[in-house]
């Protein structure tokens, strides 16, 4: 039952995590801003949480035939699951901040393009008056 719960959700979860890792590595080349650090720490927490959860599952399955289960197994598993959730939250916050920064840059870029266009028209008008 434990292994079947991991099944498809685990495969898709690791695919999403791989995409996040590639994105964070790509953003590192643009500069390590606050947004990047949030996303990188989020990916690290999620990765650690997932790896430790899998290790706990393997430990539980291998100890299943034994007479005693892990002491505090459920609470430890919940901590690791919480670590994955915290990582997702950190990544989402960094991603939102990165999106807002990209929006501000795009808006400023549009403003500067309009300013250049207006200045070009003004220069054309002034040069035509001089002639």
Q: What residues of the chain score a pLDDT lower than 50?
A: 1-5, 8, 67
Q: How far is CA 2 from CA 26, 67, 69, 86, 113, in A?
A: 35, 18, 14, 22, 57
Please calculate the CA angle 40-41-44 and round it to the nearest 5 degrees.
90
- Per-residue pLDDT at 64: 61
Residue 13 belongs to what domain range? 2-130
Q: Count of domains in the chain?
A: 1
- Per-residue pLDDT at 49: 84
Tens-digit pLDDT profile for residues 20-52: 899 999 888 888 888 999 999 999 998 888 888
């Amino acid at each position: 039952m434990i292994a079947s719960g991991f099944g498809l959700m685990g495969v898709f979860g690791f695919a999403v995590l791989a995409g996040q890792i590639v994105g964070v590595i790509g953003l590192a080349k643009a500069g390590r801003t606050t947004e990047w650090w949030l996303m990188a720490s989020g990916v690290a927490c999620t990765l650690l949480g997932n790896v430790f959860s899998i290790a706990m599952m393997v430990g539980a399955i291998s100890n299943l035939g034994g007479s005693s289960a892990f002491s505090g197994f459920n609470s430890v598993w919940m901590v690791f699951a919480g670590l994955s959730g915290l990582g997702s939250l950190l990544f989402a916050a960094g991603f939102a901040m990165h999106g807002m920064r990209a929006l501000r840059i795009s808006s400023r870029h549009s403003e500067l393009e309009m300013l250049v266009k207006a200045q070009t028209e003004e220069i054309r008008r002034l040069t035509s008056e001089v002639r």
